[in-house]
Amino acid sequence: MTGEHKLEIISSDQVAMGVFRIVFQSAELAYESKPGQFLMVDCNIGQGSNESVFLRRPLAVHRVDVEKEQISILFQVVGKGTLALSKATAGDLIDVIGPLGRPIEIDSSVENIVFVSGGLGIASLTSLIDVAVGRNLKVTLLAGARNSYRLYPSQLLPRGVTEMTATDDGSAGIRAPVTHLVSQVQEKTDIIYACGPLPMLKALSEMAVDGTLTVNTIGLLESQMACGLGICKGCVVDTDLGDKLICLDGPAFDLREIRWESQFSPV
- Run of H or E residues at 20: strand 19-25
- Binding ligand FES by CB under 6 A: which of 18, 158, 177, 234? 234
Segment contacting ligand FAD (CB under 6 A): 1-9, 53-61, 63-71, 104-112?
Answer: 53-61
Q: Which of residues 192-221 bind ligand FAD (CB under 6 A)?
A: none
Which of 128, 236 has the CB closer to ligand FES?
236
233 binds, among ligand FES, ligand FAD, none (CB under 5 to 8 A by kind): ligand FES
Buried b (16+ CB within 10 A) or exposed e, 136-153: ebbbbbbbbbeeeebbbe
Q: Rounded to whole angstroms, how far apart are CA atoms 213 and 93? A: 44
* Binds ligand FAD by CB under 6 A, chosen from 22, 45, 59, 71: 59
Give strand pairing partners of 76: 19
Q: Which of 82, 117, 126, 186 binds ligand FAD (CB under 6 A)?
A: 82
Q: How far is the CB of 69 from ligand FAD (least distance, A)?
A: 20
Q: Is 255 exposed, middle or buried (0-12, 13-18, 19+ CB in 10 A)?
A: buried
Of the pair 59, 116, the CB lying nearest ligand FAD is at 59
Task: Write b or e for each residue in 4-14: b if 16 or more Cβ atoms lie within 10 A of its Cβ, otherwise e.
Answer: ebebebbebee
CA neighbor of 29 nearest in space, from 127, 110, 143, 159 = 127
Rule CB under 6 A: is residue 24 a binding residue for ligand FAD? no
Contact pattern from residue 208 through residue 227 relative to ligand FES, giving x for each residue in contact according to CB under 6 A and a dash for the rest = -----------------xxx
Q: How many angstroms separate the CA atoms of 44 and 55, rounded?
A: 10
Site residues for ligand FAD, window 88-147 (CB under 6 A)?
A: 120, 123-124
**What are residue 167's DSSP bridge partners?**
145, 175
Beta strands in 37-104 (DSSP E): 38-41, 57-60, 63-65, 70-76, 93-100
Q: Are the C-beta atoms of 101 and 38 separated by less than 8 Å?
A: yes
Minimum distance of ligand FES from residue 56's CB (angstroms): 10
In the complex, minimum distance from the CB of residue 229 to ligand FES, in angstroms, rounded to a whole number: 6
Residue placing its CB nearer to ligand FES in the complex, 37 or 186: 37
Strand partners of residue 19:
16, 76
226 binds, among ligand FAD, ligand FES, none (CB under 5 to 8 A by kind): ligand FES
Q: How many Cα atoms within 13 Å fall on the side-chain side of residue 60?
A: 31
Q: Is 235 in the site for ligand FES (CB under 6 A)?
A: yes
Using CB under 6 A as the binding rule, whether residue 41 contacts ligand FES is answered as no
Complex with ligand FAD: residue 70 or 124, whichever CB lies closer: 124
> Which positions lie near ligand FAD, rule CB under 6 A?
38, 57-60, 62, 74-76, 78-82, 120, 123-124, 222-225, 251, 267
> Which positions lie near ligand FES, rule CB under 6 A?
225-228, 230-235, 245, 247
